Structure 1
Amino acid sequence: MYAGAHAQDTIPNAGRIQEIVNYLASDKLKGRGTAEKGGMKASRYVARQFKKLGLQTVNGSSYYQDFTFDKNAHKNIPSRNVLGYLDNGAARTIIIAAHYDHLGTAGLFDGKYPIGQIHNGADDNASGVAGLLELARHYVKNKNKEPFNFLFIAFGGEELGLQGSKYYTANPLMPLDKVHFMLNMDMIGRYNRERGIGIGGFGSAEEWPAVFKDVQQPGIKYFTDAAGKGASDHHNFYMHGVPVMFFHTGGHDDYHKPTDDAPKLQAVSEAGILQLGIQLIDKAMTFPVLHYVGEKS
């Protein structure tokens, strides 16, 4: 393969993003519900992609971290995280993550959503999984060996109370104090030019202002929010002393409705958001350690 083609392969690609979301948010997967067949199919799909990209397993020979949890009257609900590891022989590791589950046919939500209807969850969070896979591709295929390892995680059970990240942070497969930072992508597929993309966690590391300084991406506007806490999986890492970044393009009328479908995805803008993410990740790697900042009392 000539150098230009190889370089092109590492750049986030709108066509690939759309293809991933088309599959994950198809009726075939019935909304990727936790403890539903479609959710298991989605986990296997992510594991296959990790394997194709050449990521290693970190849980023995498995890409999975299985767990169960209770939610209201529902007991021992099965779910799993999917993990792929890029070992660069470094002392510290960057975690890049997104949750793959959605509401499915809403059976576990005690009537909060229309039961039996497929909630495809294209933006929430097939968009984030597409981002996860594109960033994995970028760092696997990048010819430069990075000074950090990468752990890519697709979390299960997020919609039922951040269950996958709660389980992982209680049962980490590598020490949390060796995590440089955690980047979480949840709903990054509906870019609104007026709003821009929100990036949370800006107050979670002393070095974030220096990392963000002068970072720009053509066609992508962004703003920062200090909070490390939040209603997505970065929250559990922040509560365990890990600096975080959280990418989110904002709410919309299709949120948690059966109408959150793949054709509404802004794939070109998502590719730009991921290029912005690569700039921030690369700049964060110029600091050997990021110093965690907890909540101000």
Structure 2
Amino acid sequence: MRVILLAGLLATGFCSAAQDYAPSAGRITKTVQYLASDKLKGRGTNEKGGQKASRYVAQQFQKLGLEPGNNGAFYQPFNFNRNKHLNIPSRNVIGYLDNAAAYTIVIGAHYDHLGTAGLFDGRYPIGQIHNGADDNASGIAGLLELARYYVKNGEKEPFNFLFIAFGGEELGLQGSKYYTQHPVDSLDNIHFMLNMDMIGRYNPARGVGIGGYASAVEWPEIFKDVKADTIKYFTDGAGRGGSDHNSFYVAGVPVLFLHTGGHDDYHKPTDDAPKVDAGAEAGILKIAIQLINNAMKKQKLEYKGEPAPVAAEK
């Protein structure tokens, strides 16, 4: 009896350990609650809350065992201009999982939000905290869950991984633009880039949209075996879009873009943590894992850009 009991306890322990790397609604909730708390004041670019958010991501990358992804550093600092605002500082946060592979998969999400709206020239209520739970604390939660999965699952995958939390997205995709202009490795060595932006407000009537379906020749085949028992999804061919995948797509990299759609709290102070559906987000991430794993069965995706415009007849 004692042997049976011990075997049962060991089996339970192994099961628990195996599940530690699967996407977790509890961890997603914890991440979103921190990033979207009033303490971070909306994670504004060039505001203390944005700097705290980037430090939090770097600390999580380090705890997970990722290597610093920018020549020995987790941060990739940059400056940019935006309208009358000059030399605005920001930084990307980059973690690297080295599998000694020829090609690399980039997984990204932006950590910044509107903050107290000081850089938006009156477009949003200045001085009010815009917590940005869905936009994009939810995406950073997804980024950390996928990083955990590929670090902790015990597999040596046939591709390396770069996990990038982009800064300055809300001010014109600044972090991803900078990265594609100053990559830590050649963009030619990227298998594909997967971007998560606003994946926390799942609507069963709509489903989660997955853009970039037409950005690589192989995507239709990769999607064939994807199973989603509780989460509905639909595909969109466009590689362009209003988030960080756009910077990679226009640079010639195949992309995927996960997005649960717009809502009444978009870019408002009411985009708060309790409104994020962490359970559904965990389900969305399981779809993302299937897509990533299927894509890793291919040697390298073939980029398929948009057709050139037809010249008008003279």
TM-score bucket (shorter structure)? over 0.9
Structure 1 residues 106-121: aligned runs within 5 Å: 106-121=117-132
* 1:61 CA displacement: 2.7
Aligned to 1:66: 77
Residues 1:267 and 2:278 are matched in the alignment: yes
Paired residue for 2:230, among 197, 210, 219? 219
The Cα offsets for residues 140-181 of structure 1, whole Å up to 9 and x where unpaired, read as: 001111000000000000000000000000000011000000
Aligned to 1:77: 88
* SS across alignment from 1:246: strand
> Which 4+ residue blocks in structure 1 deviate beyond 3 angstroms?
none
Aligned to 1:184: 195
Q: TM-score, normalised by structure 2?
A: 0.94
Q: Distance in 2 between matches of 1:218 and 1:22?
A: 27
Residues 1:141 and 2:152 are matched in the alignment: yes
Q: Distance in 2 between matches of 1:183 and 1:164?
A: 15
Aligned to 2:113: 102
Residue 155 of structure 2 aligns to which amino acid in structure 1? N
Aligned to 2:3: none
Residue 183 of structure 1 aligns to which amino acid in structure 2? L
Residue 262 of structure 2 aligns to which amino acid in structure 1? G
Q: Is the 2:215–2:254 contact (alpha carbons within 8 Å) kept by the matching residues of 1? A: yes
Q: Distance in 1 between matches of 2:194 and 2:130?
A: 25
The Cα offsets for residues 82-132 of structure 1, whole Å up to 9 and x where unpaired, read as: 000000000000000000000000000000000000000000000000000
Q: Distance in 2 between matches of 1:34 and 1:121?
A: 13
Q: TM-score, normalised by structure 1?
A: 0.99
Residues 1:130 and 2:131 are matched in the alignment: no
Percentage identity across paired residues of the two chains: 71
Residues 1:250 and 2:261 are matched in the alignment: yes
* SS across alignment from 2:138: helix
Structure 1 residues 148-297: aligned runs within 5 Å: 148-297=159-308
* 1:58 CA displacement: 2.3
* 1:7 CA displacement: 1.1
Q: Distance in 2 between matches of 1:26 and 1:3?
A: 35
Residue 35 of structure 2 aligns to which amino acid in structure 1? L
Aligned to 1:40: 51
The Cα offsets for residues 49-94 of structure 1, whole Å up to 9 and x where unpaired, read as: 0000000012233100000000000000000000000000000000
Paired residue for 1:25, among 32, 36, 51? 36
Aligned to 2:7: none
* 1:5 CA displacement: 2.2
Q: Is the 2:71–2:184 contact (alpha carbons within 8 Å) kept by the matching residues of 1? A: no
* SS across alignment from 1:81: strand
Q: Distance in 1 between matches of 2:58 and 2:175?
A: 16
Q: Distance in 2 between matches of 1:80 and 1:49?
A: 16
Q: Distance in 2 between matches of 1:199 and 1:156?
A: 22
Q: Distance in 2 between matches of 1:6 and 1:70?
A: 47
Q: Distance in 2 between matches of 1:6 and 1:252?
A: 37
Count residues with an aligned counterpart: 297
Residues 1:54 and 2:35 are matched in the alignment: no
Residue 263 of structure 2 aligns to which amino acid in structure 1? H
Question: What is the RMSD computed on CA atoms of the aligned residues?
Answer: 0.8
Q: Distance in 2 between matches of 1:110 and 1:71?
A: 10
Q: Distance in 2 between matches of 1:176 and 1:59?
A: 14
* 1:3 CA displacement: 2.8
